[in-house]
Amino acid sequence: MGDLMTLIKSIFMAFFALLSLALAPAMAQDADTAANDPDGAFAFISELSSNAIKVLDDPQLTQDERNDEFRRLLREGFDLDYIGRLVLGRHARNANKNQLESYKSVFPEYVLQIYSNRLKERGDETFEVDSTTPAGKRDLYVRSRIVRPDGPDVAADWRVRKIEGAFRIVDLKIEGISMAITQRDEFSAKVNADGIDALITFMREQTGTDTPSASAPISTAN
């Protein structure tokens, strides 16, 4: 009986040893999250915002050059793949291949237009990064303020995620309102009313282009 118990115990010990080895890579991967690197996330937003303001304030740049620099910063700083899928939401399942390709080509340009227009309206406002706070198990909100000389400060919280070891922005909250969710609701209303082709036409009208963007593609996988 004692030999049998020893054998069973040995089998269980071996099983748990193998299990721990199997889980070790996943645990290590989960540890490499924005939530576990608040200093890095803070520095990421500070540098990205500083670079964006430098581009905006550089008098040597033409508007085309400035837009090219914003495109580069968008590709480096935002997870446009995730945001694009989130904003299109359930309508991606009903779109055909050509519609999805058209959407993913114009979406980065549309985002560029939104953010560049807001930056152009900055005036005498300044941008200050304050702190970080958890956002779920793996993300962080990097909290910042837009300081206005003639009005109250505006809270801007950047949701930051680590993707393959690099920080990326997956959402922005202005005064507690998610920009991604707000955009998703607006897009959904347009698609429900007029269809996805009308949404794509609207986005192209807003960006002033019918030419596919060279920005990173947006995956349509679920």
Q: Alpha-carbon distance 109 to 120, whole Å? A: 16
Q: What does the pLDDT read at residue 117? A: 65
In this prediction, residues 199-221 reach a mean pLDDT of 64
pTM (two decimals): 0.74
Q: Which of 152, 100, 105 is nearest to 125 (CA)?
A: 152
Looking up tokens 């596919």 gives 212
In this prediction, residues 104-127 reach a mean pLDDT of 76
Whether 219 shows a pLDDT value over 60: the answer reads no
Q: What backbone torsions phi and psi does residue 172 show, to the nearest 5 degrees?
A: -140, 130
Average pLDDT over the chain reads 79
Tokens found for residue 189: 């209303």
Q: Which of 199, 221, 217 is nearest to 101 (CA)?
A: 217
Looking up tokens 């359930």 gives 90
Looking up tokens 């304050």 gives 130
Whether 121 shows a pLDDT value over 70: the answer reads no
Q: DSSP labels for 133-184?
A: EEETTTEEEEEEEEE-TTS--EEEEEEEEEETTEEEEEEEEETTEEHHHHHH
Q: What does the pLDDT read at residue 3? A: 44
CA-atom Rg of the chain in angstroms: 23
Top mean-pLDDT range of 55-59, 132-136, 213-217: 132-136
Whether 195 shows a pLDDT value over 90: the answer reads yes
* Domains of the chain as residue ranges with CATH: 34-207 (3.10.450.710)
More confident call, 127 vs 42: 42
107 neighbors 80 (Cβ within 8 angstroms): yes
Q: What does the pLDDT read at residue 30? A: 53
Report pLDDT digits (tens) over 75-91: 889 998 889 999 999 99
42 neighbors 142 (Cβ within 8 angstroms): yes
Q: DSSP labels for 99-131?
A: HHHHHHHHHHHHHHHHHHHHHHT-TT-EEEEEE
